[in-house]
């Protein structure tokens, strides 16, 4: 609920959006947000109260008090918090039409049997598109401006094209991480098809979408072809792209990490997803290499991946500040607020419990830490820290306007606490991606919701029916 009698939020005025969109083709278009509290997530800038932020084209041009829009559109957002868009470092977006179909899945094996062996093989390209676009639009609605889609159902070139085009059509800053499927028939075009994908969709250096290679840590689940090693590392390096490795669990993955380190395959262009139950030696190798880590707190705890404890303490002890991801919506929540809160609660619970009765002081992380993981560190994990992740002048204008005087957020006391612990999607009045409004006055733009709903329902009906027949 937004009461505009006390504070001003011009994102509720359709005329303001009209003035902005009238100049959307102008690369020098200026939008000046005034009167907000800026949670910049830039260590040099910190939190700036009653401040302005100037967007020029697709870039944050300046932050500070009393800025001049210089002929641009002034948007008064008094009573709000501006912060960077959240960065999702790991989501299997193609599954979105099967959301919460198995909320009580007990272990990884149950998920693998039902989703990867059961539903995935019947997906058509149009189902890839429907699921991926639904996931991306919902991400925007909940404040995620950058999403890594770990697209591990690339059965044909057309399946991959559909997933990429869904990201394009949504307007999100997307990372398409491509991998062949675990089970069922497919064209065996991956990873060779990555060359075609790069040339067709990812040829520019300054565009919304980027490409990565996706792989598994070991051959235990789907065999050696999908497991990261010298051949896939060489493929990625020849293409000049990063690698995201999923299912990094326990002793087998620990041995794999040490092998990669010995082979020179462990470095800043590599992201390890989950990293639960790894040995101290493996963590030391990760920290020394500069590799990044993506945690999925709800997945690790709720599904019970290896130790079931998100490895935030282990990562921090190794000098790694992790990014956060959603993982699988077939069983989990799809927003970043859930990930931040769950990780904060789990880590602080463990810290206090481990120190209880010993006289030691618990080592607790903070609300600022988890917001850092969800923004700046997420951008670094996705290889995009120079473009996004903080409200730093010169970076792309990926940002959120969060109403801080709504029923569930007022009054604004600690702005970081308000974002992490007090807000949700209903409080996000505006989302900009690359300087372009994607959500405004609490509504995702350029979406025919009825048509989308019809397409999603039709896709779900087909997938469930085909999987049952199979």
Q: Residue 199's pLDDT is what?
A: 96
Q: Look at 12-16, 250-254, 337-341, 448-452 and tell me which has the smallest mean pLDDT.
A: 12-16
| Predicted confidence (pLDDT) at residue 95 exceeds the cutoff of 90 | yes
Model pLDDT for residues 266-314, shown as the tens digit of each residue:
999 999 999 999 999 999 999 999 999 999 999 999 999 999 999 999 9
Computed over every residue of the chain, the mean pLDDT equals 96
Q: What is the pTM of this model?
A: 0.97
pLDDT value at residue 3 = 41
The residues facing 178 across adjacent strands are 151, 213
Give the pLDDT score at 8: 64
Q: So what's the pLDDT on residue 222? A: 86
Q: Is the pLDDT of residue 419 over 60?
A: yes
Query: What percentage of the chain carries pLDDT values higher than 70?
Result: 98
State percent of the chain over pLDDT 90.
Answer: 94
**Per-residue model confidence (pLDDT) at position 54:** 98
pLDDT digits (tens, 9 = 90+) for 132-162: 999 999 999 999 999 999 999 999 999 999 9
**pLDDT band for position 4 (cuts 50, 70, 90):** very low
Q: Is pLDDT of 7 > 90?
A: no
pLDDT on residue 203: 87
List of domains in the chain: 10-84+390-444 (2.30.40.10), 86-381 (3.20.20.140)
Q: What is the pLDDT of residue 214?
A: 98
pLDDT confidence of residue 350: 96
CA separation for the pair 297, 337 (Å, rounded)? 11
Q: Does residue 237 have a pLDDT over 70?
A: yes
> Before 191, cis peptide (omega within 30)?
yes
pLDDT higher than 80, residue 91: yes
Q: Which of 115-129, 203-217, 238-252 has the lowest mean pLDDT?
A: 203-217
State the pLDDT at residue 5. Answer: 38
Could you report the per-residue pLDDT of 31-66, keeping only the tens digit for each? 999 999 999 999 999 999 999 999 999 999 999 999
Q: Of 5 and 324, which is predicted with more confidence?
A: 324
Backbone region of residue 82 per phi and psi (left: phi > 0; alpha: psi in -120 to 50; beta: other values): beta
Question: Exposed, middle or buried by CB within 10 Å (0-12, 13-18, 19+), for 203?
Answer: exposed
Q: What is the pLDDT of residue 450?
A: 98
pLDDT-based confidence at residue 470 (cuts at 50, 70, 90): low
Q: Residue 110's pLDDT band (boundaries 50, 70, 90)?
A: very high
């Amino acid at each position: 609920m937004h009461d505009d009698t006390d504070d001003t939020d011009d994102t509720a005025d359709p005329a303001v959006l009209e003035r902005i969109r009238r100049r959307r083709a102008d690369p020098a278009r200026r939008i000046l947000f005034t009167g907000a509290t800026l949670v910049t997530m830039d260590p040099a800038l910190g939190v700036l109260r009653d401040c302005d932020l100037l967007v020029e084209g697709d870039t944050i041009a300046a932050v500070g008090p009393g800025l001049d829009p210089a002929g641009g559109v002034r948007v008064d957002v008094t009573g709000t918090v501006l912060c960077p868009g959240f960065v999702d470092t790991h989501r299997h977006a193609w599954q979105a039409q099967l959301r919460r179909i198995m909320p009580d899945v007990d272990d990884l094996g149950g998920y693998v049997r039902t989703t990867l062996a059961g539903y995935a093989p019947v997906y058509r390209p149009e189902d890839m598109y429907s699921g991926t676009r639904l996931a991306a639009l919902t991400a925007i609605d909940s404040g995620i401006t950058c999403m890594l889609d770990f697209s591990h159902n690339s059965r044909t070139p057309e399946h991959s094209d559909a997933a990429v085009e869904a990201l394009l059509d949504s307007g999100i800053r997307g990372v398409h991480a491509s991998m062949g499927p675990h089970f069922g028939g497919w064209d065996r075009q991956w990873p060779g098809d990555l060359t075609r994908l790069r040339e067709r969709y990812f040829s520019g250096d300054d565009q919304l979408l980027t490409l990565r290679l996706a792989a598994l840590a070991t051959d235990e689940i789907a065999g050696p072809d999908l497991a990261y090693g010298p051949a896939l590392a060489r493929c990625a390096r020849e293409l000049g792209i990063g690698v995201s490795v999923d299912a990094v669990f326990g002793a087998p993955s620990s041995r794999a990490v040490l092998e990669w380190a010995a082979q020179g395959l462990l470095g800043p262009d590599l992201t390890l997803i989950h990293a639960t139950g790894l040995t101290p030696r493996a963590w030391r190798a990760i920290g020394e290499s500069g590799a990044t880590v993506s945690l999925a707190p709800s997945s690790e705890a709720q599904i019970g991946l290896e130790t079931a404890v998100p490895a935030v303490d282990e990562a921090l002890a190794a000098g790694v500040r992790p990014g956060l991801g959603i993982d699988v919506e077939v069983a989990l929540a799809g927003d970043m607020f859930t990930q931040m809160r769950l990780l904060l609660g789990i880590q602080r619970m463990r810290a206090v419990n481990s120190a209880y009765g010993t006289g030691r002081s618990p080592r607790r992380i903070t609300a600022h830490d988890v917001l850092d993981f969800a923004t700046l560190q997420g951008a670094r994990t996705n290889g995009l820290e120079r473009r996004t992740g903080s409200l730093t002048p010169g970076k792309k204008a990926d940002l959120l306007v969060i109403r801080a005087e709504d029923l569930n957020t007022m009054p604004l006391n600690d702005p970081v606490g308000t974002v992490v612990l007090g807000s949700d999607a209903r409080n996000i009045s505006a989302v900009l991606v690359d300087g372009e409004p994607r959500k405004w006055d609490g509504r995702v733009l350029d979406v025919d919701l009825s048509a989308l709903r019809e397409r999603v329902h039709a896709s779900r009906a087909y997938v469930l029916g085909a999987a049952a027949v199979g």
